[in-house]
Amino acid sequence: MRDSGQPEQDRILRSMELHSVEEEVDVTPAIMHKVRQIHQKKQGRNAGNRKKTLIIAMLTAILILSSISVYASQYLIQIKNKEGEVILSTIKPWKYSESEYNAKRIKETEEELSKRLKPGEQAVYYIKDLHMTPLVKEQPLNYFYRLTKHSNYQELAKEIEEKGAPVLQEPDYVPEGYRFDFGQIQIRNTPVWNTPEYQILVDELKAQAEKSDEEQGLFYKIVPWSEIAGTGMEYRKGENRIKFAAYAREKGSKAGVPTNQAVKIKVKGKEMILSASPSSPSRSLVWLSDSEEVLYIIMDDPKDPLSKDEFAKIAAGLVSE
């Protein structure tokens, strides 16, 4: 939590960008170039006019310099101490809100990790950045798992078996034109803040960051994953997609389907809910496995919606006998 005694001024200053002060604008080269241009244009005149021409050129240069100086002063102001050191200055405005900047840095970091990690690897990472907000600093570690994206069902089925992921069978039927696009296994991470294990990782990665001269840096460690979240796959026809998912869940817990329009259908004796939601243009068909430990979902593409009968026909190939 934030120290209740911390001044409001400190909070405001922490939200500001701490850039180094820009160097003063040096327009001398540009002015002298302008003087030479004017002087060269007058070279064809007689020697008697050269002195007059030079005076005019110098006056013109002074006017240009004054104009540029006024323009520069509109955005660059510096206050120096007795030693000549800049202690206060204007800076370029910060263009991100706190949440936007945090999201931007996390996105950039995970894009970088996706290049460094092998498929199936997971890393815990720490971002060294003074501009990250206090909330991020209080929970400084994040987890990133690089998915293994399978291009055919056989590879997906192999990983399902190896990792004990929820089984998602290859459907017996999909509408004409749809083909398997990809499948993947997703893991679940629920780090417990302030546990000894978590604090060990925080201390280790922060120590690496403090030893580094980088003002902004990424520090991470490969760690094992422990829990499977689910299995997913997509079938594609051009730009249209049908999505399939099987999520692991605890038996006995209640599962909810957010919707404002739904009907109950029965497929091979299994009751299912076909629903539409105001938060998503797609419709979904949802049901539980007999063990109640897997939640299944089929989601259509609003640009190529499935009929009720098509939903049922697809689901029939996924329901265990």
Rounded Cα distance between 276 and 273, Å, is 10
Which range, 255-259, 269-273, 309-313, has the best average confidence (pLDDT)?
A: 309-313
Cα Dmax for the chain: 110
Residue 105 corresponds to which tokens in the numbers above?
């840095």
Residue 50's pLDDT is: 61
- Which tops the pLDDT comparison, 47 or 203? 203
DSSP three-state, residue 231:
strand
Q: Parallel, antiparallel, or unpaired: how do β-strands 86-89 and 78-80 relate?
A: antiparallel
Backbone angles phi, psi at 191, to 5 degrees: -60, 140
Phi and psi, residue 120, nearest 5°: 90, -5
- Give the Cβ contact number of residue 101 at 10 Å: 19
Per DSSP, the residues of 78-130 read EEE-TTS-EEEE--PPP---HHHHHHHHHHHHHHHHHHHSPTT-EEEEEEE-T
pLDDT beyond 90 at 257:
no
Task: List, in order, residues 6 or more apart from 317 with CB less than 8 Å away.
Answer: 169, 170, 171, 172, 173
Tens-place pLDDT, residues 111-169: 999 999 999 999 999 999 888 877 677 788 999 999 999 999 999 999 999 999 999 99
What are the C-alpha distances in Å from 18 to residues 3, 8, 21, 135, 209?
A: 22, 17, 9, 19, 19
What per-residue confidence (pLDDT) applies to 24? 44
pTM for this prediction: 0.63
